[in-house]
Amino acid sequence: RNSVSPHRGSGVRVRNPLWSHRNGSSHRIGSSCSGAKQPTLVLLDRDGVLNYDVGTPGVLTVGDFSLLPGAAQAVARLKRHGAVVCVCTNQTCVGKGLISQTRLDEIHDHMRVLLIQQGGPDAVLDGVFVATTSTDEECDRRKPAPGMVLEAVRTHGFEGDEKNVTFVGDTVHDAQAAYNAGVPNRITVGTGHGQEVYEALREAHGGEVEGDKKRTVFVVNYFCDIPHAWLAPETLPITVVADIAAAVEVIVTGIKDSNEGVDVV
């Protein structure tokens, strides 16, 4: 393990999975400061987080849907850890008339089957929340609006307990929806649309990051030297990791910050 100093003058810290220091106190992401295991709700975007993002117009058939490597195992790990795990996804292809609600349901049935086939019997989702209106329509459920996230939070009994909710996404809209819903734990993965921001962070902090890039965790506290279009100021601080497996590592074990330096593993 290499111990290095923080990147001076930057809003990015490269951290070692274990604990996160926020507002002077230490806590695991998605748990209380007491250290006792608390119920946790993890909300996952779909395209680019769980499955390959196939681009516009999106996944229109069962054949278009393929899980990303390690996604099923990541869901299973969350479930074994006691988390409630749900998908929150915009599927405007329904509102645009490209596919029917029935076809979308078939795709999500297929997703559930693949999760269990690849991740084992623990890889079971607790819910799938979908916003299907087209972008031409106003909608308080479609991300970046908070409605769909709030619905998931209420459905699973986490209203007023948002400190134990984490949203994992790959776009600015995912992070904004979480922020707008009062979800404080926000993670962006370096797959799908998140690939560019993750690679930009690795390039900007290449001198600090060595070894297995999939284990590198960035916590962005304020804008630095990466294009602002990739992040929204209101969503900071935000954690940026390689993929869903790395996100689950952060959720389950937390992230560690040190005033003496930063550990990169």
Given the residues 47, 174, 243, 257, the one annotated as active site: 47
Residue 105 annotated to the active site:
no
Task: For residues 84 and 241, give the distance between their C-alpha atoms in angstroms, rounded to a whole number.
Answer: 21
Catalytic residue flag (residue 212): no
Q: What are phi and psi of 128, to 5 degrees?
A: -130, 115
Tell me the sheet residues that pair with 47: 51
Catalytic residue from among 45, 170, 243, 257: 45
Contact 175/167 with Cβ under 8 angstroms?
yes
Bond into 146 cis (ω within 30): no
Please identify every residue annotated as catalytic: 45, 47
